[in-house]
Amino acid sequence: MSRNTKLQHVRNIGIMAHIDAGKTTCTERILFYTGRTHRLGEVHDGAATMDWMEQEQERGITITSAATTISWRDHQINIIDTPGHVDFTVEVERSLRVLDGAIGLFCAVGGVEPQSETVWRQAEKYEVPRICFVNKMDRVGADFYGVVSSIQQQLGANAVPVAIPIGQGEEFKGIVDLVQNCAIYYSESDHGTSFEEKPIPNELQKEVHKWRNLLIEKASECDEKLLEHFCAEEEITEEELRRAIRAATHAHLLTPVLCGSAFKNKGIQRLLDSVVDYLPSPLDLPPIIGECLAGKPTERVAKDEGRMAALVFKVVTDRHVGKLVYVRVYSGKLQAGSYVLNSTQNKKQRVGRLLKMHANRQEMVDCLYTGEIGAVVGLSGSSTGDTICCTENPILLEAIEFPAPVLSVAVHTEKRAERDKLTRGLMKLSEEDPTFVVTTDPETEDTVISGMGELHLEIIVDRLRREFGVTVEPSEPEVAYRETLTTKVKLRDRLVKQTGGRGQFAEMELVLEPLEPGHGFEFKNEIVGGAIPKEYIPAVEKGVIDAMAKGAWADCPIVDVRVRLVDGKSHDVDSSEMAFRRCAKLAFKKAFLKGNPELLEPVMSVSVTTPDDYAGQVTGDLCSRRGRIAGMEMRGTTQQIKGMVPLASMFGYVSDLRTMTQGRASFAMHFERYEAVPFSVAEEIVATRKKKDKK
């Protein structure tokens, strides 16, 4: 067995953007021009190849990331098309974790939008080199240079055009390739498949000269030879310039920017060229770092002859083949029928079939080589973030971190025969989506589902109906509040119970201290002299964790607390792990209530784009929802209003906004952070929750 494409000719890329920037349309054009499909699929008529789910086709949005493989200039490009809606940010997060490069897509009118910032930060987190494509250059109000400026200012990227438009809006005719130094015009008769390279129009000569010199200047910062040529005003070849841009892109010193219109079939071929020319192969990246089972750092070099190491980044339930486990192979070869080690779970597993994916279609292969992305049948026990490796010299790669859910609803079915199907469906969906959590309320015994927003949970409920045949009745959504304390508190407590026979005895002194937001929980054992036997210390920590799961004030999880165990007593006969666990739970709750508890709520970053006539009304409405306006920016004839608003105040906002602006405004929001609820509001929330629990 040998690979069809050299490793240096492999590209693993993702397409990321704000919702409605044209990601899926762009992907469809890529598939068409590379011969992967033979017709142009359109989002607006539900015929997009990559949006294969029924919900995606009906709503015209991408919900789940879809993978495919194409060929361009003898290069193999593995593409993941990611969603733009913030509720499905998990798909972007796990995709970027396994990609080597990314295309950031921007609307030529909207520019940098809220979700653009979110996905850009995610790419920075994983140090993924990027190129940018300013799409929709044919739209009225398109402003290429304004978008480039906003990428520089809002995202902090050193964005430098490698292509500029010939005209904008209705006057958009083609592009100027600054590297090749020529004008490119696309044919209208064959969907842009053919194009002509012509001399640069006279009216653009001055503009081209300015931007090309800037490109050479920025690229030469990473290439001494190019810098010498530039300073000496010597001729610079295309190859020299491309090599320098490539090096600067890999070093995160430059972000090349292209432009076009995917819908009008302009600029996509040059975008593909830039993927090949500027984004890295697996060989261009440093070795992947992990830990051996002994906990010491180790690495894997990208080569087929190396020890096999792969990361599970997605799990999908397929109605025909069962559980599909998506993996990225970082080193070695993953072969069908071989035995591998899931080092995360320390389980040996057998690889069944191996599949290359094209959206929801599958192609069976015998082997996945280094740098390839595919799906595995047979790894039924594997979960997202697990490491798959060879049984000898195992490695544990860094897992993927996901944001916690912010919204919950209780679900139930009236039909007794569907209850088992509901349980199975929820279990499978939670396996697929790490940001979707299923719990059972211990008091009401309700099944509670939690996710990233209203749309996320709406899609889950719809999938239960369509894929699992379960009619689900959801309750009103509930905000995922948290509790914390604001002051340090010390408390000594004891548990003494004697009911005949062996009793229960435990005594301890706890110190509770607030931590900085986002620091979670810390437990410190400061017992000296054996005041509490060491075998009981873990029980104390477990008791504290039990108490934090459901807070003492509002029955919400407790966060950002340090607990110090400083003293205590035990009894030779009556003390036990159970006694110390119970005592710790009770003591923590008593202490927490003395520490001036505070209720925390998820706060969303909200961006509303509205005609200027309605800006005052929109602003006033956001303020009435306890929102704080962060800024307003005029964009053509519309205002973009940005602010921070509690999630609890945003339910049903889409309908209210439509009514308020006669359907002419749009908005986007994403989770920003947890903040303290004003005390008067907090008391009302606590009273409501207590009243509900009594029913």
Per-position DSSP letters for 436-476, written without gaps between them: -EEEE-TTT--EEEEESSHHHHHHHHHHHHHHH----EE--
Q: Which helix (H) or strand (E) holds 25?
A: helix 23-33
Q: Are 472 and 491 in contact (CB under 8 A)?
A: no
Question: Per the structure block, which two tokens stand in for 390?
Answer: 């060879």
224-231 and 238-250 helices, crossing angle to 10°: 130
What is the distance between the alpha carbons of residues 107 and 129, in angstroms, rounded to a whole number? Answer: 20
- CA 117 to CA 17: how far, in whole Å? 9
Confidence band (pLDDT; 50, 70, 90) for 598?
A: very high
Per-residue confidence (pLDDT) for residue 52, from 0 to 100: 42
**Phi, then psi, of 138 in degrees rounded to 5:** -85, -10
Task: Name the percent of the chain lying above pLDDT 90.
Answer: 51
Alpha carbon 676 to chain centroid distance?
A: 25
- Strands (DSSP E) contained in 146-259 are 159-161, 163-166, 174-177, 182-186, 195-198, 255-259
Residue 51 has pLDDT above 50, yes or no: no
Which run of H or of E encompasses 150? helix 144-155
Q: Strand pairing partners for 558?
A: 483
Which among 594, 541, 591, 551 has a CA at the least distance from the CA of 686?
Answer: 551
The answer to whether 602 and 536 have CB atoms below 8 angstroms apart is no
Contact in structure between 212 and 178 (CB atoms under 8 Å): yes
Average pLDDT value for residue range 26-41: 83
Pairing of strands 75-81, 66-72: antiparallel
Least confident of 481-490, 557-566, 674-683: 674-683
Lowest mean pLDDT among 27-36, 59-68, 466-475, 587-596: 59-68
Residue 170 pLDDT > 70: yes
3-state secondary structure of 521: strand
pLDDT at 74 over 50: yes
Q: For residue 309, what are the CA distances in angstroms to 91, 389, 537?
A: 22, 4, 38
For residue 444, the model assigns a pLDDT of 58
pLDDT value of residue 442: 63
Q: Provide the pLDDT confidence category of residue 84 given band limits of 50, 70 and 90.
A: low
Q: Stretch 319-343: mean pLDDT, rounded? A: 90
d(CA 12, CA 372): 8
Helix (H) or strand (E) holding 141: none
> Angle at Cα 309 formed by Cα 304 and Cα 312, nearest 5°?
125
User: Which residue type, as a one-letter code, is found at position 327?
Assistant: V
Tens-place pLDDT, residues 176-234: 999 999 999 999 888 899 999 999 999 999 999 999 999 998 988 877 788 787 777 77
Q: Which two tokens stand for residue 509?
A: 């002194």
Tell me the C-alpha to C-alpha distance, in Å, between residue 55 and each of 39, 59, 160, 317, 457: 22, 6, 38, 16, 13
Amino acid of residue 110: G
Across residues 398-423, what is the average pLDDT? 82
In which band, very low, low, confident or very high, does the pLDDT at 47 lie, cut at 50, 70 and 90?
Answer: very low
Average pLDDT over all residues of the chain: 87
pLDDT at position 337, please?
93
Give the Cα separation of 309 and 396 in Å (integer). 9
In the chain, how long is the greatest CA-to-CA distance? 101
Residue-wise pLDDT for 450-480, tens only, equals 887 777 888 888 888 888 888 888 887 778 8
Nearest to 431 by CA among 341, 326, 338, 337: 326
Least confident of 301-305, 405-409, 527-531, 679-683: 405-409
- pLDDT of 695: 54
Packing angle, helices 268-278 and 23-33, rounded to 10: 90
| Rounded CA separation 388/402 (Å) | 20
Whole-number Å distance between alpha carbons of 12 and 187 = 30
The rounded distance, in Å, linking the Cα atoms of 167 and 137 is 9
Q: Does the model's pTM come out above 0.95?
A: no
pLDDT at 499: 66
- Taking the C-alpha atoms of residue 235 and residue 156, their distance in angstroms, rounded to an integer, is 31
CA distances 543 to 72, 75, 490, 585, 598, Å, are 59, 57, 17, 5, 21
Helix (H, G, I), strand (E, B) or coil at 31: helix
Q: What are the CA-CA distances from residue 485 to residues 548, 552, 592 (Å)? A: 12, 11, 7
The whole-number pLDDT of residue 554 equals 85
| Alpha-carbon gap, residue 212 to 178, rounded angstroms | 6
Cα radius of gyration rounded to whole Å, the chain: 28
Q: How confident is the model at residue 370 (pLDDT cuts 50, 70, 90)?
A: very high
Q: How many CB atoms lie within 10 A of CB 363?
A: 11
Burial class (CB in 10 A: 0-12, 13-18, 19+), 562: middle
Q: Given the structure tokens 């593909």, which residue do they identify?
A: 272
State residue 45's pLDDT score. 47
Residue partners of 228: CB distance under 8 A and separation at least 6: 234
The residue type at 513: E
Residue where the block lists tokens 């929801």 = 360
For the cut 50, the answer to whether the pLDDT of residue 162 exceeds it is yes
- β-pairing verdict for 75-81 and 10-17: parallel
Average pLDDT over residues 339-353: 93
pLDDT at 557 over 60: yes
Query: Taking a C-beta distance cutoff of 8 angstroms, is the pair 507, 493 a contact?
Result: yes
- Residue ranges of alpha helices (H) inside 301-357 are none
Helix, strand, coil: what percent of the chain each, to 5? 30, 30, 35
State how far the Cα of 369 lies from the Cα of 387, in Å rounded to an integer.
16
Max avg pLDDT among 180-189, 317-326, 494-503: 180-189
